[in-house]
Amino acid sequence: MYDPTVARLTYRALLGRRRALILGALPLLLVAISVVVRALAGADDQTASDLLGGLALATMVPIIGVIAGTGAIGPEIDDGSVVYLLSKPLKRPTIIFTKLIVAIAVTMVFSALPTLVAGFILNGNGQQIAVAYTVAALVSSIAYAALFLLLGTVSRHAVVFGLVYALVWEALFGSLVPGARTLSVQQWSLAVAHKVAGGDLVTSDVGLTTATVLLVAVTVLATWYAGQKLRTLTLAGEE
Amino acid sequence: MSAEHPVAAVPGDQTRIHNIGYRTYDGPRLGRSYATRSLYSQSLRGAYGLGRSVKSKVLPMLLFVVMCVPAAIMVAVAVATKAKELPVDYTRYAIIMQAVISLYVASQAPQSVSRDLRFKTVPLYFSRPIETADYVRAKYAALASALFVLTAAPLLVLYVGALLAKLDFTDQTEGFGQGLVSVALLSLLFAGIGLVIASVTPRRGFGIAAVIAVLTISYGAVSTLQAIADAQNSTGAIPWIGLFSPVTLIDGVQSAFLGATSAFPGAVGPTHGEGAVYVLVVLGLIAACYGLLLRRYRKVGL
């Protein structure tokens, strides 16, 4: 199911040249901000929770997920070089699965790791906040990567749609319409984080069972459907 | 016209170039400013997908509608309830809808410049009479105008609605004018930032994500820091933190000089002195974006 060559090529496409630097700028910013906050405000659990929840989990993880998920396949389809990959004797689901693994790994490294570092800087993992948000970031990395990889195979405007989902649906509608929160990767991962942290600082609107079922379902379905889409992929010309 | 030119003087060689009657162009030459204007109008139309495929019209038009519908709803509510004033200030509207504006910049800035880089059409532009500065000016002006249309249209809806609801004319006109100045600044600033980022990468998807990341992460970071400063009762620091993200910059300028209520935590807007710094930073950023774009296109695709 996992093909090392495809993985290597995908890593190169995602992190080659200056792209790794740009991807690395976001985590660095998060760590820098937490250093500033710690220096200004001292260790405070509520502040740490607000910063990690508001900035790291709500903004950074989805954006990195979009870049890694759609970037793993989108550009190849866009410039047509995916035909060289598809003409190799590899199963299409294998290609998708490999690219998914790479996208998940990149998202995790660039979002969950800095979340953990920032959490330890902010309040030294008081009340398990750093660990809880790291778990949330890890879990949501998987779901985001799968979702956005699917988007990358479905649409040419995958990045925009991914960002619309992450920023408009989860952030805007999620804060206005309570029902929208049930269908939000962020809330599902928070439910898992809530289980880990236990306290009242990390809360979610979704139950743990629902969240886990939905997370697994979304990841599996998105990956399966992306494989199906890739099997019947037609290369359209540039608009 | 001479019929043929012998090319090689080698005796016995029959190689020749024949003049097969290509004619020189002696019609009017429209020149540099015309080419610049054409590039401007094509880019502006392209920013709303006009003259492009149906698929590329969907997103900009959708964002335009999403931008205007809340304004229409507000007007309808104000008319129906016979309110004395509109539920939202003219200057506040763009701040509330910033996610939509950011998405628009992020989707259209790479559309405007990244494709020229990717398909290597930039050298073709420069083989015309236009210069680097013309190209940059046309693209910048086009995206800024497109953004101005996007942000000013809902204000117009609000204004017309307010007049229809027989609200105070001078009051509304003043607010509308202030709102227009603020969104004009916002359009210039956002267009500049979007174009600078997009012009670095030939890959559209990456450009979109980078623009969004810069706009939303900087806003998220700044508003988080401001909220913390507010909680720590260090209200003096709030305006200075606001200097570090485009949205809060515009917010600061308009709450210092354009009579807006600030969206900063605790509604602590900058004073006039701090507001002057805000204006300077905004103008400096716009100039810097223009300068960076000029630099970027000095040597491109050659």
Domain edges within chain B: 29-296
Please tell me the distance from the alpha carbon of residue B107 to that of residue B112, in angstroms, as a whole number: 9
CA dihedral (A238, B102, A10, A222) positive or negative:
negative
Residue B171: pLDDT above 50?
A: yes
Confidence of residue A77 (pLDDT cuts 50, 70, 90): confident
Inter-residue contact B272 to B280 (CB < 8 Å): no
Residue A238: pLDDT above 60?
A: no
Please tell me the distance from the alpha carbon of residue A123 to that of residue A208, in angstroms, as a whole number: 26
Domain-embedded: residue A83: yes
Confidence of residue B108 (pLDDT cuts 50, 70, 90): very high
What is the predicted pLDDT for the residue at A239? 46
Residue B302: pLDDT above 70?
A: no
CA proximity to A66, closest of B108, B215, B212, B238: B212
Please tell me the distance from the alpha carbon of residue A6 to that of residue B137, in angstroms, as a whole number: 42
**Mean pLDDT, rounded, for A130-152:** 91
Contact call for B217 and A63, based on CB within 8 A:
yes
| Exposure string over B260-299, b if 16+ CB within 10 A, otherwise e | bebbbeeebbbeeebbebbeebbeebbeebbebbeebbee
As a whole-number percent, the residues of chain B with pLDDT over 70 amount to 95
What's the gap between Cα A83 and its chain centre? 27
**The two three-digit tokens of residue B57, written as one number:** 């019209």
Confidence of residue A229 (pLDDT cuts 50, 70, 90): confident
Query: pLDDT per residue over B209-265, tens digit each?
Result: 889 888 888 888 888 888 888 877 777 788 888 888 999 999 889 888 887 777 787
Instruction: Find residue B18's DSSP bridge partners.
Output: B4
pTM: 0.84
Please tell me the distance from the alpha carbon of residue A120 to that of residue A153, in angstroms, as a whole number: 37
Contact call for B209 and A19, based on CB within 8 A:
no
Please tell me the distance from the alpha carbon of residue B75 to that of residue B90, in angstroms, as a whole number: 12
What is the predicted pLDDT for the residue at B236? 79
**The two three-digit tokens of residue B52, written as one number:** 């492009």
| Residues of B whose CB is below 8 A from A118 | none
Inter-residue contact B206 to A67 (CB < 8 Å): yes
List residues of chain B with CB under 8 Å from any CB of chain A.
Answer: 52-53, 55-56, 59, 99-100, 102-103, 106-107, 119, 203-206, 208-210, 212-213, 216-217, 220-221, 224-225, 227-229, 231-232, 234
Contact call for A160 and B208, based on CB within 8 A:
yes
Task: Tell me how many residue pairs between chain A and chain B have CB atoms under 8 A apart.
Answer: 94
**Mean pLDDT, rounded, for B30-48:** 92
Residue B97: pLDDT above 60?
A: yes
Contact call for B228 and A26, based on CB within 8 A:
no
What is the predicted pLDDT for the residue at B3? 52
For B197, nearest residue in chain A (alpha carbons): A22
Please tell me the distance in Å from A202's CA to the nearest CA on chain B. 17
| Residues of A whose CB is below 8 A from B229 | 40
Residue B191: pLDDT above 90?
A: yes
What is the predicted pLDDT for the residue at B185? 93
Contact call for A54 and B220, based on CB within 8 A:
yes
**The two three-digit tokens of residue B3, written as one number:** 């019929």
What does the DSSP 8-state code read for residue B83?
-
Please tell me the distance from the alpha carbon of residue B135 to that of residue B117, in angstroms, as a whole number: 13
Number of domains in chain A: 1
Element (H, E) at B47: helix B31-47
Residue B10: pLDDT above 70?
A: no
Please tell me the distance in Å from B207's CA to the nearest CA on chain A. 10
Return the amino acid letter for A163: L
Angle at A57 between CA A212 and CA A12, to 5 degrees: 95
Mean of all residue pLDDT scores within chain B: 86
Confidence of residue B1 (pLDDT cuts 50, 70, 90): very low
Q: What is the largest CA-CA distance in chain B?
A: 98
Which of A26, A52, A157 is best to mutate for the B interface (most B CBs within 10 A)? Answer: A157
Tell me which of A53-67, A80-94, A194-208 is least confident. Answer: A194-208
Contact call for B213 and A26, based on CB within 8 A:
yes
Q: Is A123 helix (H, G, I), strand (E, B) or coil?
A: helix
Contact call for B107 and A19, based on CB within 8 A:
no
**Mean pLDDT, rounded, for A26-52:** 83
**The two three-digit tokens of residue A223, written as one number:** 């990956």
**Mean pLDDT, rounded, for B63-74:** 91
List residues of chain A with CB under 8 Å from any CB of chain B.
Answer: 19, 22, 26, 29, 33, 36-37, 40-41, 47, 50-51, 54-55, 58-60, 63, 66-67, 70-71, 74-75, 78, 156-160, 163-164, 167-168, 171-172, 238-239
Boundaries of domain holding A63: 4-231
Higher pLDDT, B168 or B64: B64
Radius of gyration of chain A (CA): 18
Domain-embedded: residue A12: yes
Inter-residue contact B7 to B16 (CB < 8 Å): yes
Residue A36: pLDDT above 90?
A: no
